Amino acid sequence: MKIAIASDHAALEMKADLVQWLGEQGHEVADLGPYDGTSVDYPDYGYKLGEAIASGAAERGIALCGSGIGIAIAANRNPKVRCAQVSEPLSAKLCRSHNDANAIAMGARLIGPEMARACVTAFLTTDFEGGRHTRRVDKLSKTPQDV
């Protein structure tokens, strides 16, 4: 699977760990940065991740920052992105099965590497259930006036 991953400086170590691990799992990983510990602004990287998903360059995305919250908000500015902030595998599974999430965000200051890998595994191996969820997911890319 083609996976884009981006972080801010607070999650640089977690990103490096996941990039290596995902590659070992056979995925094609696009590391969108940053590449050193220089302080950066998470919105810049959330926007890059959103563009990679929206353009089709990546099938799924992983967004990382200190809490996972800010970068998720930034990624979700793109109407083609459905990024859920997760901290355990059940949320990662439900965001796929019920919300057809195409990205997850995690906080490097909140969870460790094993939990991050467990969340990514659940996210990548869960299919969208469709059915009753399809109507709701379709509304997510519309403005409230269009619903």
Dihedrals phi, psi of 16, to nearest 5 degrees: -60, -40
The rounded distance, in Å, linking the Cα atoms of 59 and 103 is 9
Question: What are the catalytic residues?
Answer: 65, 98
The rounded distance, in Å, linking the Cα atoms of 75 and 104 is 10
| DSSP-H helix ranges across 11-147 | 12-24, 42-55, 69-75, 89-97, 113-125, 132-139
